Amino acid sequence: MRQLKSISELREQLNTVRKADKKIILVPTMGNLHDGHLSLVKQAQKIDGLIVTTIFVNPTQFVAGEDFDSYPRTLENDLSLLEQLNPDIVFIPDTNEIYPDSQIKAEIIVPELDSIYCGEFRPGHFRGVATVVTKLFNIVQPDIAIFGEKDYQQLLVIRSLVQSLDLPVEIVGSATVREADGLAMSSRNSYLTDEERRQAPILYECLCGIADAIKQGDSNFEKLEKNGLNRLKESGFRPEYLNICDAETLKEPKNHKLVIICAAWLGKARLIDNVAVHTYD
């Protein structure tokens, strides 16, 4: 497992791989790794190619008042976990390597997804995500990139930018990894107190309940959303949104591919989750 910190070093290594006509698979992370991140690497290992895992806490996707300075940074433990899976390269750039002199002279925006749901409550967040992911794509030039489905809106943003900019990267979504009680694994789960951690699985239970109702033929989405929000509030959450959407666009549902998306605060932790639902006429 080679640990590289500079773009020039990484490109030199990858040029050799390309000459051998070997696929390059990218697994981007912000560190503080858990089983959810490791599942992305394991999925990459199912593909015949060279795996590049990145660890970079991207400042441009944190909005005003968020936790960039306090975001968990656990590099030593992250590298220990990765060594057990042994990806080919771990790219660990510092901020100045990605944003020289802290200058951002160009940004990537996906307009239809930039300001809705998480984009509404975190203005500028997806601009930061889209920009750093595009930079990583340009630096690594992967054939395949793997992202978790827990960050569902982010996954759609990345798929949209790849399609819109004609980038030669196949985007693969990886299923959400959950704790035994259903809570989606997240670096921010560490912000939960013991009592909040016991409450947290209610979020997933709520989404699953709505999904079950839809599968059983309930099409009163407005009522399902309202009831879901009420349940979360009564359980101590501060929900930002809970919506039933078209799974491919996050717009009003018009076909049988749906996704229920939600973001809610529990104490100091902002939790996001989603459940896909396929209905059949």
**8 A C-beta contact, residue 61 and residue 179:** no
**What is the rounded distance in angstroms from the CA atom of residue 99 to the CA atom of residue 77?**
25
Rounded CA gap, 14 and 116, in Å? Answer: 37
Ranges of beta strands (E only) in 5-71 are: 24-29, 50-55
Nearest to 43 by CA among 149, 140, 124, 119: 149
The runs of H, that is alpha helices, within the chain are 7-19, 35-44, 75-85, 95-98, 111-114, 118-121, 125-140, 152-164, 194-199, 202-215, 221-234
Size (the chain), residues: 281
Active site residue 37: yes
Q: How much helix, strand and coil, in percent to the nearest 5, is found in the chain?
A: 45, 20, 35
Say how far apart CA 181 and CA 84 lie, in whole Å: 26
Q: What is the DSSP letter of 246?
A: E
Catalytic residue (one of 34, 37, 256, 278): 37
What would the two tokens of residue 63 be?
């909005």
How many other β-carbons are positioned within 10 Å of the β-carbon of residue 177? 18
- Catalytic residues, by residue number, are 37
